[in-house]
Amino acid sequence: MRGLRWRQWAATRRRKRRVDIFIQQIINGLVLGSIYALVALGYTMVYGILGLINFAHGEVVMIGALTALTAIGLLVPSGLPGPLVVLGGLLIAIPVCMAVGFSIERIAYRPLRNAPRLAPLITAIGVSIVLQQLAMIGWGRNYHTFPAILPTTPHQVLGAAITDLQILIVVTAAVLMSALLWLITRTRLGRAMRATAENPAVARLMGVNVDRVIAYTFVLGSALAAVAGVMVAANYSIAHYAMGFMLGLKAFTAAVLGGIGNVGGAMLGGLLLGVIESLGAGYIGDLTGGFLGSHYQDVFAFFVLILVLVFRPSGLMGEKVAERA
Amino acid sequence: MTQPFPSRPLPALLILSACLLAACGEQTDTAPSAAPVAGAPSMEAPLVVRLGHVAPLTGPQAHLGKDNENGARLAIDDLNAEGFKIGDKLARFELLGEDDQADPRQGTTVAQKLADSRVNAVIGHLNSGTTIPASRIYHDAGIVQVSPSATNPQYTRQGYAGAFRVFADDVQQGGALGTFAMKNLNARRIAIIDDRTAYGQGLADEFEKAARAAGAEIVTREYTTDKATDFASILTKVKSTSADLLFYGGMDTQAGPMARQLKTLNLGIPMLFGDGGCTVEFHKLAGEGAEGHYCSLPGVPLDKMAGGTAFRERYKAKFNTNIQLYAPYAYDAVRVVAEAMKKAGSTDRMKFLPELEQINYPGLTAQITFDEKGDIKNGAVTLYQAKSGAWSPLETVGGDATP
C-alpha cells in the first residue's frame, strides 16, 4: 500500500513539474514575444501607410539600446535608485530614436515617395547598413554591458520564475500596444493615419497633411523601438552595434506572421513568435527523440513563418486594407 | 613529426630563405643606402624578425583578442629593449597584428595575408575554430605557428611540424573538469550546453567523455550559438531535467548572460565552464548571477607564476587595463619562438624549428617543453570559483610548478 501511495505521489509530482516547466516556457515566450511585438509594430505601421518595408527599423532599436546604455552609464554615479536610472536612460533614448526615425524618413524615403517600389526597399537596406556602421564608429565594436542596477531575484508565479523586470516588460508592452490601438482608432491623428493608409491621394484631398502623417508614423514607430531596445538591453544585459539585425528580422517575421500592415496582427504575431520559439527550443528535442535539438530554435521560427505563408499568405489576421494603419 | 623537414615544396622555402638572407630589405625602413648584401651582413643593420599575431580584435571577443595582442606586444617590446641577439646580430622584432573576428573564414583570409607577407612565425590564433583552418595555410607556407590559447586537440594532431601550443588542450582540460565535477562538486546529473564552435563543442565533448567515465549521468545536451543572448528556453529545459550541474562549452559573452538568466529562472545549480568563460568580463556580464560558479583555466594562477605579479603590474602600467586571460601565454609564445631563433642563430624556419621542438625554456607561465605533437608537456589546469566579483583559485591539477 505504501509503495503504491509513494508511486502516486511521485507521479503527481512529476506531472506538476511538467506543468510548471510548460508555464515557465510560456512566460519566457511572452517576455521575448512582447519585445518582438513592439518592434513588429514599427514595421507594420510603416508598411500599412507606405507599403514600404523599413529594414532600418532594427537599427533604430539598436540605437535606442546603446543610447540608453550610454545615458545609464552617465547616470549611475549620481547614486539614484536603479529603476529611476533606467527610466532616465529610456527618456533620453526615446527622443533620440524619434529624431533618428524622423531623419530616416525625411532624408532617405521622402525623396523616393513616387519612385518605383523597389527603390525605397534598396534604400532601406542601405540606411540599415549606414546606421550600423555609424553605431560601430560611435560605440565601438565591443559588447556593452548593462550595469547591475536592477534586482534579478525572481518571484514564483504558478511554479514558474519571473523577475520584476520581466513583469515590467510584458506590462509596458501591453500598455503601449493598447495606447497605440486607442490612438489609431480614437484620435484625429489615428483617423488621418487610417485615411492615408487607405488612399493617400484622397486623404490629401480631404485636407489630411499626408507628409506630416507619415512623419508621425515613423516617429511613433521609432519611440516604440527605443522602448524595445531598452528592454532588450536590460533583460539580456548586453548591447552591441550588430544586435538590431537579427532582432529586426525576427520582428519582421512576426509582422508578416500576423499579417503585415495590420496593427493587431503585429502584436499577435510577435507574442506568438516568442512563444513558438520558446516552446520549440524547449520541447523539440523530446518530441523528435533527440533527432532535432535546441540549435533549431531559429529555424523553428522561420519554419512556422513558411507554413503560415503557404497556407495563409496574408498572415494570421489578414492584410485587411481598410483597417490597416 | 620525426622528420625535421616535412612535406613542403622546395621553391617556397628557397624564396623564404632568400628573403631572410636579404634581411627582407624592403622592410627595413631605416636601411642605409648600401642595403645589406646576401652573405655579407652588416653589423649595423638590425636583423628584422617579423611575427604575425592573429586574434579577434573586433566583435564580441575583441576584449580577449586585444589582451592576446597586448601580451605579444609586451614580449616584443621587452625583446627589443633588452637587445636580444640572434646569431651575432642585434634583432629587431616587429609585430603584425591581424584581426580574424573569431570567424574561421576571416581566419584563413588573414592567415593567407600573413603567409604572403612572409612573416618569420605566427603567434595565434585565439580561437580553435580559426586556428585549425589557418594552421593548414601556415603549414603550406612553411611558417611556424604557436597558439597561446587554441585548446581543441585537433590543432596539433594534423601532422603539421610547425604547429605548437603553450596551453593545455581540451583533453587535459575536459578531463580535469570532469574529475572536478564528480569529486569536488558531487555532480551526478549533468546538463551540457555548447555553442557549436570548434572550441565549445570540442571541450563539451571531452568533458562529457570524462564525466561519463567517472560515472555521471548526462541528462541533456543543449545547444546555442556564439552570438546568442537569450537562453531562457534552453535553461528551462535544463530545469525540467533536475540536473545538479550545468556545464557550458563556450565563451564569456554567452556564459555571462547565461549565469544571469540562471538566477532569474530561479535555477539554483552551479555552472561549470572552461577557459573561454574564465574572464574578468564574465563577472560584468553575469552581474549578481556570477557568484558561486566554477571555471577552469589551463596553466597555474598568475599569482603563482614566477614573476606573475610583476607581469600583471607591467601590463597594467603599459596598457592601462587589466589582464583578461591569455596575455601571459601570448607573452610566452613570443619568447619561446625568440629563444628558439637565438639557439639556432637564425630566423630561418628550417634552422629554428628543430630548436623549438627541443626547447626547454623557463617561461612565465610554465617550464615550456613540447611533446612530439607540439603540445606543451605536463600542462597544468587550475579550477576557480567566482567569489565576490573575482575568480578565486581552488586547486591546480597536473603540471610542474615554474622553477
Write out the DSSP string of B115-156: HHTT-SEEEE-SSHHHHHHHHHHHHHHT-EEEESS---GGGG
Distance from CA of B173 to the nearest CA of A (A): 25
CB-closest option in B58, B224, B240 to A141? B58
Report chain B residues whose CB lies below 8 A from the CB of A148.
287-288
| pTM of the model as a whole | 0.81
The residues, ordered by sequence, that sit 6+ positions from B91 with a Cβ below 8 Å of its Cβ are B46, B47, B48, B49, B79, B84, B85, B338, B341, B347
How far is the alpha carbon of B94 from chain A, nearest alpha carbon, in Å? 26
Taking CB atoms and an 8 Å limit, are A282 and B196 in contact across chains? no
Length of chain A, please?
325
Between CA A274 and CA A258 the distance in angstroms is: 13
Which whole number is the average pLDDT over B63-75? 94
CATH architecture of B10-168+304-370: 3-Layer(aba) Sandwich (3.40)
Sequence ranges of chain B with CATH classification 3.40.50.2300: 10-168+304-370, 171-298+382-397
Q: Which CA distances in Å does B121 have to B19, B174, B272?
A: 14, 29, 35
Question: Quick one: pLDDT at residue A71?
Answer: 94
Using an 8 Å CB-CB cutoff, list residues of chain B that contact chain A: 58-60, 62-63, 196, 220-225, 227, 229-230, 232-234, 236-237, 239-240, 253, 256-257, 260, 263-267, 281, 284-285, 287-289
Share the mean pLDDT of chain B: 86
HSE (side-chain half, CA atoms, 13 Å) at B59: 15
In this structure, of A175-179, A228-232, B304-308, B317-321, the range with the lowest mean pLDDT score is: B304-308
Tell me the pLDDT tens digit for each residue of A304-321: 888 888 888 888 887 654
Q: What is the pLDDT of residue B266?
A: 87
pLDDT in tens, B200-230: 999 999 999 999 998 899 999 999 988 888 9
How far is the alpha carbon of A160 from chain B, nearest alpha carbon, in Å?
A: 8
Judged against a pLDDT cut of 60, whether residue B391 lies above it is answered with: yes
Query: For B103-146, what is each residue's pLDDT tens digit?
Result: 999 999 999 999 999 999 999 899 999 999 999 999 999 999 99
The reply to whether residue A28 touches residue B236, judged by beta carbons under 8 angstroms, is: yes
Mean pLDDT throughout B247-262? 93
Preferred mutation among B237, B238, B252 to probe A, highest tally of A CBs within 10 A: B237
The CA-based diameter of chain B, rounded to the nearest angstrom, is 76
Nearest residue, CB atoms, A237 vs list B220, B257, B266: B257
Residue of A nearest to B222 (CA): A294
pLDDT of residue A242: 87
Q: State whether A238 and B253 contact (CB < 8 Å).
A: yes
CB B114 within 8 A of CB B55: no
Q: What's the average model confidence in pLDDT over B79-106?
A: 93
In residues, how long is chain B? 403
Task: Please say if the pLDDT value at position B400 is more than 60.
Answer: no
Among B222, B232, B267, whose Cβ lies nearest the Cβ of A28? B232
Residues of A in Cβ contact (< 8 Å) with B288 = 148, 152
Residue B90 pLDDT more than 80? yes
- Which of B67, B106, B240 is the best mutation test for A, with the most CBs of A within 10 A? B240
Q: How many CA atoms lie within 13 A of B91 on its CB side?
A: 25
* B181 has pLDDT over 60: yes
CATH fold of B171-298+382-397 reads Rossmann fold (3.40.50)
Write down the pLDDT at residue A8. Answer: 84
Distance from CA of B100 to the nearest CA of A (A): 14
Select from A21, A246, A279 the Cβ nearest to the Cβ of B239.
A21
Residues of chain A found within 8 Å of residue B256, distances taken between Cβ atoms: 145, 237-238
Query: What are the mean pLDDT values of chain A's consecutive 10-residue runs (325 residues total)?
Result: 76 82 92 95 92 93 96 89 91 97 94 89 93 90 80 82 91 95 93 91 92 95 96 89 90 90 91 91 79 77 84 78 45
What are the DSSP calls for B274-300, one per residue?
-GGG-SHHHHHHHGGGGTT-EEEEES-
Q: Which residue in the set B237, B281, B289 is minimally distant from A294, CB to CB?
A: B237
Does position B35 have pLDDT exceeding 80, yes or no? no
Residue A159's pLDDT is 80
To 10 degrees, what angle do helices A243-258 and A118-139 make? 150
Residue in this structure with the C-alpha cell 508578416, named with its chain if needed: A256
In this prediction, residues B33-40 reach a mean pLDDT of 44
pLDDT beyond 50 at B19: no
Is A31 within 8 Å of B237 when comparing Cβ atoms? no
Contact A281 B234 (CB under 8 A): yes
Minimal Cβ distance to B287: which of A148, A156, A282: A148
